[in-house]
Amino acid sequence: SYTTDTKSRKENKKTLENLYSLSVDITKIRRLKEWVLLQDVAYVKEIAGILQEMGADETTVANIIERCPEAILHTPAEINSQRALWQLVCQNEKQLIKLIEQFPESFFTTEYQQNQKANILFFQELGLKNNIITRFLTSAPNIFYNSVEKNKNVIETLQRNYLNLGGSEANMKIWILKLLSQNPFILLNTSTAIQEKLEFLQKNDFTDQEVLQLLSKLKGFIFQLNSTTMQKSMLFSKNIFKCSDQELKQLVLKCPALLYYSVPVLEERLEGLLKEGISIAQIRETPMVLELTTQIVQYRIKKLSALGYDIKSGNLESLNGTKKDFEVTYGKIQSKKERPIFNPVAPLHIED
């Protein structure tokens, strides 16, 4: 709705004066979104006033406007509505202003207020905690642009499939809430797409129980994958590891990354491991190592080698896991290496 014809228009003097009075770095706005400065109407003082009312100091106000200049083009009424909306899930205004400073674009997208409100209430009814809904508002705002009917439809499809795959009624709510918390973007799928991905797994002979296991392990990201890509990845793994369909299935259950990553990604990671002298047999034994990027693998091998740990003859388990998991493993290997060897003939100093 705003014109972007910057050549024929001049910057709005009043807007500039008001921004200067708030110590806003105008060069930043010119670099980012100069078109904002060209608009005939802007609510600089009013928006700053609302932010200050919520507890923002001058620096915070300037920072918010610099990061999201279009904030000043919204009417005070729109921003007050948005403020009331976010207060449904925020503990207090202090938390709200902190969120606005971190995620101004999410807060100042006001076109979908009706949908936002209906979805917030729906998520609360579903049993999602307010701190999770807040996380959705900031990091997955587009799920709130959907109509509440569409989001309900996707949730119902997931619930129906969970029960059809043998999940229990008692655990269904926990399963849905966990899946949503891990990956709210599930809601951007259509019910048909969800159905297709589940059928793909069933056609590849995964049992109902195994499909549920994969859904949980992949945190629902499987719904964002393409069936053709998954098929190619599985075929690639089957050829590389020279295994039967049944063995491949077990490998995928052990390491869903074989389904999740495309062939070029898997190729690059395999190549990186082989260059380090690791064998295909070792990778087949511990396929989870393919979840790590080549850079992470190289870094971890280097650290372990410095301790005299030979990865080529050892187990790849020591490379696996999150950064925290690896640090624990590394710490154990290091302390084992540093531990003094017990000398049975050395005198023991035992106090009486």
Residues 6+ apart with CB under 8 A from 339: none
Position 350 scores a pLDDT of 46
What gap in Å lies between CA 185 and CA 142, rounded to an integer? 9
Question: b/e string for 29-68 if b means 16 or more Cβ within 10 A?
Answer: beeeeebbbbbeebbbebbbebbeebebeeebbbbbbbbb
Residues 6+ apart with CB under 8 A from 304: 311, 318, 319, 330, 333
In tens, the pLDDT along 227-267 reads 899 999 999 999 999 999 999 999 999 999 899 899 999 99
Position 287 scores a pLDDT of 92
Q: Is the entire prediction scored with pTM above 0.75?
A: yes
Residues 6+ apart with CB under 8 A from 82: 107, 108, 110, 113
- Look up residue 210 and give its two tokens: 């195994």
pLDDT at residue 183 is higher than 60: yes
CA distances from residue 157 to 133, 201, 322 in whole angstroms, order as listed: 21, 16, 32
Classify burial at 288, counting beta carbons within 10 Å of its beta carbon; exposed 0-12, middle 13-18, buried 19 or more: middle
Gap between the terminal Cα atoms of the chain: 88
Position 127 scores a pLDDT of 95
Position 348 scores a pLDDT of 47
Q: What's the count of helices (H) and strands (E) in the chain, helices before strands? A: 20, 0
What gap in Å lies between CA 175 and CA 160, rounded to an integer? 12
Q: Backbone phi, then psi, for 199, in 5-degree steps?
A: -65, -35
Q: What mean pLDDT is reported for the chain? A: 89
Position 8 scores a pLDDT of 55
**Residue 345 banded pLDDT, cuts 50, 70, 90:** low
Position 334 scores a pLDDT of 84
Tell me if residue 211 falls in helix, strand or coil: helix
Instruction: Indicate the range of 61-70, 74-83, 186-195 predicted with least confidence.
Output: 186-195
Position 351 scores a pLDDT of 47
- Average pLDDT value for residue range 116-135: 96
Q: Where are the beta strands (DSSP E) in 167-218?
A: none
**Residue 225 banded pLDDT, cuts 50, 70, 90:** confident
CB 266 within 8 A of CB 236: yes
In tens, the pLDDT along 190-218 reads 889 899 999 999 999 899 999 999 988 88
CB 172 within 8 A of CB 163: yes
Position 344 scores a pLDDT of 52
Residue 166 burial (CB count, 10 A): 11
In tens, the pLDDT along 264-293 reads 999 999 999 999 889 999 999 999 999 999
Position 313 scores a pLDDT of 76
In tens, the pLDDT along 302-341 reads 988 888 888 887 778 888 888 898 888 888 888 877 665 5
DSSP secondary structure, 227-262, as one string? HHHHHHHHHHHHHHHT--HHHHHHHHHH-THHHHS-
